[in-house]
């Protein structure tokens, strides 16, 4: 047997041992018995010098090639065995629930309010605010609500036990007055906020609830403008399949006054043709006079609605009290 034939046998044996090594220790052993100091390969290599001079280059080449082959096999097998050793004993169950940090949710009334605010802002409205404790002037008188008007009843309005007969605002329209008193026209605001009526709590009433209203005052504002903006806001809020209907109504602070009904698939599912959703109108000249605007020079419109009502419709909530109980199971649905 020539040296090269022995080399071939040794290589085959080494490759077989590497491939068969069941773990890293066996692999190390296989490596030692092949290329270690006393390995079969090393021993053969020492005999290289005994070859004829002209045979040596070819034999050297063959040795190098064989060694490279064995080392490549070793590296490959080592990679396989290391990976196998790294795989955890207990497999991860990808179907089991993950570990959560838990994020909170915004209150549904906040979400609806913000959606409405966003729709208004898209049309150039700025968010405005005013106090929740009001006086009769801002809540009623300046809004052309006469002293005898049923809305002014102690029956319906909460009064605060303090000097000056302050009251809890019954609508966000009081902010209209506050803003117009302090700012010069033009005005383009949207006012979200809490309002209060002296209703006992039931499925559709809570003494505290939320309204939002828009006010636009400028030169040459018409009822067409009112309808156009109302439509733009509601299309954004309720989707493009919504249809609106305006019909005459009465509010003391607008003239003409309109109520707005809407319809869409949801309304029809409720078995109704139209659902009342908001009130609006052209700002009454008396209101302008009361805040010191010239009703001949300025005109404007206002429109407002209840946030709970929209939230109940949107989320299918049937009891308004759920919004104020803050049951976390309820809150987490939004």
User: Which residues, 89 to 148, sit near other proteins by CB under 8 A?
Assistant: 96-97, 99-107, 109-110, 114, 117, 123-129, 131-133, 148
As beta bridge partners, residue 216 has 188, 301
User: Residue 241 has which token pair?
Assistant: 């399949």
Question: Is position 12 an interface residue for other proteins (rule: CB under 8 A)?
Answer: no
Residues 6 or more apart from 87 whose CB is under 8 A from it? none
Local structure of 69: helix, strand or coil: helix
* Choice between 36 and 207, CB closer to other proteins: 207
Binding residue for other proteins, selected from 149, 184, 203, 239, defined by CB under 8 A: 149
- Single out the segment in contact with other proteins by CB under 8 A; choices: 14-22, 31-39, 47-55, 323-331: 323-331
With respect to other proteins, which residue has the nearer C-beta, 66 or 226? Answer: 226
Question: How far does Cα 162 stand from its chain's mean position?
Answer: 42
User: Smallest distance, Å, CB 85 to other proteins?
Assistant: 24
Stretch that binds other proteins, among 5-13, 25-33, 34-42, 212-220 (CB under 8 A): 212-220
Q: Would you count residue 184 as binding other proteins (CB under 8 A)?
A: no
Q: Least separation, in Å, of the C-beta of 297 and other proteins?
A: 11
Q: Give the residue carrying structure tokens 């080494």.
A: 14
* Residue the block writes with tokens 């609500």: 145
Question: Rounded to whole angstroms, how far apart are CA atoms 287 and 290?
Answer: 5
Contact between 220 and other proteins by CB under 8 A: the answer reads yes
Phi-psi region of 27 (alpha: psi -120 to 50; beta: other; left: phi over 0): alpha
| Site for other proteins contains 36 (CB under 8 A) | no
Binding mask 48-87 for other proteins (x = CB under 8 A): ----------------------------------------
Q: Is 181 helix (H, G, I), strand (E, B) or coil?
A: helix
Neighbours of 306 (CB within 10 A): 18
Nearest to 253 by CA among 171, 165, 194: 171
Minimum CB separation of residue 309 from other proteins in Å reads 15
**Touching other proteins, residues 258-317 (CB under 8 A):** 258-259, 282, 284-285, 299
d(CA 65, CA 173): 92
């Amino acid at each position: 047997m020539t040296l090269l034939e022995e080399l071939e046998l040794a290589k085959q044996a080494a490759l077989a041992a590497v491939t068969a090594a069941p773990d890293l220790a066996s692999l190390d052993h296989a490596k030692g018995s092949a290329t270690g100091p006393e390995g079969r390969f090393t021993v053969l290599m020492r005999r290289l010098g005994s070859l004829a001079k002209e045979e040596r280059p070819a034999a050297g080449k063959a040795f190098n090639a064989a060694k490279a082959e064995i080392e490549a096999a070793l590296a490959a097998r080592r990679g396989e065995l290391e990976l196998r050793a790294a795989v955890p004993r207990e497999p991860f169950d990808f179907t089991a629930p993950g570990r959560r940090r838990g994020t909170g949710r915004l209150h549904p009334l906040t979400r609806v309010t913000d959606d409405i605010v966003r729709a208004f802002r898209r049309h150039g409205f700025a968010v405005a605010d005013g106090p929740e404790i009001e006086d009769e002037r801002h809540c009623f008188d300046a809004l052309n609500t006469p002293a005898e008007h049923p809305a002014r009843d102690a029956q319906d309005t909460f009064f605060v036990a303090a000097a000056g007969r302050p009251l809890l605002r019954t609508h966000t329209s009081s902010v209209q007055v506050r803003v117009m008193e302090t700012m010069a026209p033009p005005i383009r605001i949207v006012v979200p906020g809490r309002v209060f009526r002296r209703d006992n709590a039931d499925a559709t009433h809570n003494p505290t609830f939320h309204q939002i209203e828009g006010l636009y005052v400028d030169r040459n504002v018409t009822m067409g403008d009112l309808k156009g903006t109302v439509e733009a806001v509601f299309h954004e809020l309720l989707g493009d399949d919504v249809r609106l209907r305006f019909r005459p109504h009465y509010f003391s602070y607008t003239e003409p006054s309109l109520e707005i009904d809407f319809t869409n698939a949801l309304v029809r599912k409720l078995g109704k043709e139209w659902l009342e959703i908001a009130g609006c109108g052209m700002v009454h000249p008396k209101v302008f006079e009361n805040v010191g605007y010239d009703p001949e020079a300025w005109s404007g419109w206002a429109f407002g609605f209840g946030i709970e009502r929209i939230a109940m419709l949107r989320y299918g909530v049937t009891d308004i009290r759920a919004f104020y109980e803050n049951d976390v199971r309820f809150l987490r649905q939004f």
